[in-house]
Structure 1
Amino acid sequence: MREQLSILTSRWRYNPWIYGVLGIVLALLAGVLIARFGVMGGLMVIGLPVGIATLVAVLLEPKIGVYIYANLSFMIGAARFLDGDIQVGLGLDGLLVLTFAGTLLNASRMDWHRLKNPAFYLVLFWLFYTILEYFNPDSPYPPAWFYHARSFSLSWSFLSLIVLVNPITRTDVWLLIRTWIVWSVIAAIWGFKQQYGHAIGLRDLEQAELNWLAAGGARTHILWGQLRSFSFYSDAGQFGAEMAGVTLICIILFMAEKNWFYRFIYLGLTLVIFWGFAVSGTRSALFVLVGGFGAFLVLQKKLKPIIYSAAVGIPILCILYFTHIGDSVYQIYRIRTALHPTQDESFLVRLENQNRLKAYLADLPFGTGIGSSSGAGVRFTPWHWAAQIPPDSWYVQLWIETGIVGLSVYLFVLAGIIMTGIWKLWQLKDPWLTTMMLILLCEFIGICVVSYSNPILGQFPTSTMLYINSMLFASANRWEKKK
């Protein structure tokens, strides 16, 4: 593939007629598009060469496709700013398939032996179960399977294979983490604009955001007259969980860094991104920090960090749990209520819904079929009870659509991947690599914990980052420097 493209490029390089004809054709095409579609046509003219360059780059070096896919996943929530029904998710699926095709075209450079990994086998096991769910006789509308299977297992399977076999370097891993942090800072700043824009002379919300709230988002994002910032993510729950997860990453980097200059940078990033979590009003996202940081302390197998962290963390939790200090600040009050779930009406409603579901699912061990609840269920089978009870949880949605059997399989897969990551982590000798893998593994654990209360594990960009990261820490020893 590379040799053929090289020969073709060399021929074009020394033939000026090709450039002349190509320029005329492109100019005519640009004129037609602009005349036909106006501004959108102009954007198409700009996007066409970019798209061709991306196509070639991904086919030549598939790991570029993984990086582009990760970046575009952060922008999928921004589709609300685009006019018309633009299927951004389908575009991401196309890019993923293109990256997979590039991997196959470059098969000779891929390390296929890495597929002999327990984590990959577990993902395939989950994929096989979800495929069987297509034939679930209790499914009210089987074609809806395709809408939820992507986030359930299909994307995870493609990304797992691509990430494992491609020649991803230590530098690529660090670039991915830094990109993640940069996107989170941008998202936090946009969340601050939504929350405090009027104080600095900016519009709090753009028209597209107001339209989204008016279309139904206000019911969950304006509580007691207070906006829950959602930035450019799908909703405040997704935004808050992402901010909490990246706050955890910055805390770990702060604790691992020896250079005081960089420690101050990580401290500043921690404060900015943590307040992004606070303005989201997503209370349950606190448990990303609690679960992930608790895992970080345990996995180090060192007593001193546990003592230091307990000396700082326990007083903070005690202040939040036993006092009302800071309640005048709405964001602090919202975080505090996460520690008193039995006093929260929305949590009690969730428990009531789960009791109703328990009665419905008592005789449905394989659930009502993938695509029968949540978004696809509301769209295709709104008359069915599975679409009428909001799951409010990733695990509850899995329970509805795949039954207690499917939920058990899924939790087994998650536990197996985490155990594989821990096994690989404890074999590492390189301190820098150990820190990077701790970051990925602990954030994964934190999101798994909070997914009990929010369906974020199947939403962009969280799903993308977790699916990529799960295969990175499950193959951590591939970057260990050999002596």
Structure 2
Amino acid sequence: MKEWLFEKIIDEKLNNLFGLVTLLLLSVVSAVLIAFWGMKGGAMILSVVIGAPIAIYTIINNQFGYLLLIVFSTFMGFISRALSVNIPFGVGIDLILVLMFSGIILEQIFSNKEDKGKDFSLTNPISVMIFVWTAYLLLQVFNPAGTPAGWMFGLRNILRVFVAFIIAQRVFKDLKSVDTFVSLFIGIGLVVALYGIYQEFVGLPAFDLKWATATEERINLLFIQGKWRKWSFLSDPAIFGLFMAFGSIIGFILSLGPFSWKKRSFFFASGFLMLLAMFFSGTRTAYVMLPLAVVIYVLINITKVKTLIFAILSVMLFLVVYFGPFYAKPIVRFRSAFNPTEDASMNLRDFNRQRIQPYIHSHPIGGGLTTSGVYGERFSPGHPLAGFPPDSGFMKVLLETGWVGLLLMLALYSTVLAVGISNYYKCEDPIIKSYYAAFIASFFALSIALYAKENIEQFPQNLILYGIFVLMYKMQKFDVKKLA
């Protein structure tokens, strides 16, 4: 498949029947889109003209494609806001993932290479749990309490996780590929942080302000205590705050690792700026992630003097920020994150959880996919859960897939952590150990954030997470010292 595409596009430069048919179809589709959708159609055409060659190359080079999707998914919301056009970039990302996955399947079927399956591991504990979780969600189609439309909408997210996980197995072939992956998303986090800081100190650009004030509901969400929460290039302040907390945890931990001073400086500076930007998001769940990450990092490195010094400094910094004479609004909001009983929104969430308990007890496999919250109103109108705000990833899973689904999801996350911690102690390469420590601490903190946030798996963080799932079991294969 790859060889055929390379020959038709690169060697023959589309001067063939394939090229003629492709260009003819593009011309017809372009005319129709512009005629019916005007500027939006033109933007879609431009995306296709630029994206088609890239999409084809992603089939040939999965590592390039996966990293490109991480970069593109970071900025797609910003592009839509800047152009004031709601472009369905998510559909394009899913399409590229499907193309890459299809290329992998075709290669496994038709390729004569003896090592064609060496990059994949379908029997390790994490892969098994991914398959079990995916199968359970697919079987939700038979849930009598669910709706066909809700399940069909949820199917897209189900398949995205499965497909991205399989592709990610192909991305990481050696330690260099891990270095590239980490440097890329830390670099992206740095850029995202800098724009968030720009929004804070310079102000919101006109197109960002226009988007923020488009609806009363959005204003109420983004304008808190007389100040705009920041979202940088991402879709909303919540995912911005979580992404900044996640990236800063990894950056700080890697800055303690056995890297060159330039790389350690890069990790530390990126971590610091992401930490600063996180405060401007106003996402209190992100604030709680930091001490959680410190706790798990200290526990897995409790015998190291450097770790104890790090723990002491972290506690001192927390105490200074929490009890110090600082009254800026981000600091005040940070303190409120550690006093949930005094928070009206948290008390409302607890009330809602108690109110919905009878339904949870009577539905062990849940009410069906996409039946709760705003999307429940859209795809499952009239359902008992439609419009009910989960306000928590755990609660959403519990409502829609029941306690059976919640246990499976917790088993998946626990397996990821268990495999990572086990391999952390087994490996001998100090660089790989540093990566394991960073991934374990950041993922643990992010998984706990599901208690207060409905969905931690949004772009670009979801693609990064799927890569980390793979690396939790695969990095130990790159341990040269152990293999020697």
TM bracket (short chain): 0.7 to 0.9
**What is aligned with 1:98?**
99
**What is aligned with 2:461?**
462
1:155 to 151, 157, 160: 160
1:164 to 160, 165, 169: 169
Q: Does 1:75 align with 2:75?
A: yes
Q: CA deviation at 1:17?
A: 10
**What is aligned with 2:242?**
241
Paired with 1:28 and 1:286, the residues of 2 have a C-alpha distance of 51
Q: CA deviation at 1:2?
A: 3.9
**What is aligned with 1:137?**
144
Greater mean deviation of Cα atoms: 3-12 or 218-227: 3-12
SS at match of 1:115: coil
**What is aligned with 2:273?**
272
Write the letter of the residue equivalent to 1:51: G
* 1:267-303 Cα shifts (integer Å, max 9, x gaps): 3222211111000111121222222232222223533
Alignment of 1:418-437 (within 5 A): 418-437=417-436
Q: Does the aligned pair in 1 maintain the 2:249–2:290 contact within 8 Å?
A: yes
Q: Does the aligned pair in 2 maintain the 1:62–1:100 contact within 8 Å?
A: no
**What is aligned with 1:183?**
188
The structure-2 alpha-carbon separation of the partners of 1:266 and 1:468, relative to structure 1 and needing over 3 Å to count, comes to closer
Q: Does the aligned pair in 2 maintain the 1:241–1:285 contact within 8 Å?
A: yes
Q: CA deviation at 1:357?
A: 1.6
**What is aligned with 2:406?**
407
Q: Does 1:479 align with 2:478?
A: yes
Q: Does 1:206 align with 2:208?
A: yes
The structure-2 alpha-carbon separation of the partners of 1:46 and 1:219, relative to structure 1 and needing over 3 Å to count, comes to closer
**What is aligned with 1:299?**
300
SS at match of 1:168: coil
Q: CA deviation at 1:246?
A: 0.6
Q: TM-score, normalized by length of structure 2?
A: 0.88
The structure-2 alpha-carbon separation of the partners of 1:205 and 1:276, relative to structure 1 and needing over 3 Å to count, comes to farther
Q: CA deviation at 1:220?
A: 1.9
Paired with 2:293 and 2:94, the residues of 1 have a C-alpha distance of 30
The structure-2 alpha-carbon separation of the partners of 1:335 and 1:5, relative to structure 1 and needing over 3 Å to count, comes to same
Q: Does 1:117 align with 2:116?
A: no
Write the letter of the residue equivalent to 2:360: L
Q: Which consecutive unaligned segments of at least 5 residues does structure 1 have?
A: none
Greater mean deviation of Cα atoms: 466-475 or 293-302: 293-302
Identity over aligned pairs, percent: 24
Paired with 1:439 and 1:94, the residues of 2 have a C-alpha distance of 31
Q: CA deviation at 1:195?
A: 2.4
Q: Does the aligned pair in 1 maintain the 2:360–2:399 contact within 8 Å?
A: yes
Paired with 2:26 and 2:123, the residues of 1 have a C-alpha distance of 51
Q: Does the aligned pair in 1 maintain the 2:392–2:454 contact within 8 Å?
A: yes
SS at match of 1:474: helix
**What is aligned with 2:58?**
58
Paired with 1:384 and 1:376, the residues of 2 have a C-alpha distance of 11
Q: CA deviation at 1:470?
A: 0.8
Q: Which consecutive unaligned segments of at least 5 residues does structure 2 have?
A: none
Q: CA deviation at 1:315?
A: 2.2
Write the letter of the residue equivalent to 2:121: R
Paired with 2:30 and 2:239, the residues of 1 have a C-alpha distance of 42
Q: Does 1:196 align with 2:197?
A: no
The structure-2 alpha-carbon separation of the partners of 1:208 and 1:184, relative to structure 1 and needing over 3 Å to count, comes to farther
Write the letter of the residue equivalent to 2:428: K
**What is aligned with 2:437?**
438
Q: Does the aligned pair in 2 maintain the 1:111–1:165 contact within 8 Å?
A: no
SS at match of 2:121: helix
The structure-2 alpha-carbon separation of the partners of 1:196 and 1:383, relative to structure 1 and needing over 3 Å to count, comes to farther
Paired with 1:72 and 1:27, the residues of 2 have a C-alpha distance of 23
Alignment of 1:220-235 (within 5 A): 220-235=221-236
Q: CA deviation at 1:473?
A: 1.6
The structure-2 alpha-carbon separation of the partners of 1:259 and 1:94, relative to structure 1 and needing over 3 Å to count, comes to closer
The structure-2 alpha-carbon separation of the partners of 1:9 and 1:399, relative to structure 1 and needing over 3 Å to count, comes to closer
Paired with 1:164 and 1:176, the residues of 2 have a C-alpha distance of 13
Write the letter of the residue equivalent to 1:453: A
Q: CA deviation at 1:440?
A: 2.3
Alignment of 1:391-402 (within 5 A): 391-402=390-401
Q: How many aligned positions are there?
A: 474
Paired with 1:8 and 1:344, the residues of 2 have a C-alpha distance of 62
Greater mean deviation of Cα atoms: 31-40 or 177-186: 31-40
Write the letter of the residue equivalent to 1:66: Y
**What is aligned with 1:337?**
336
Q: CA deviation at 1:84?
A: 4.7
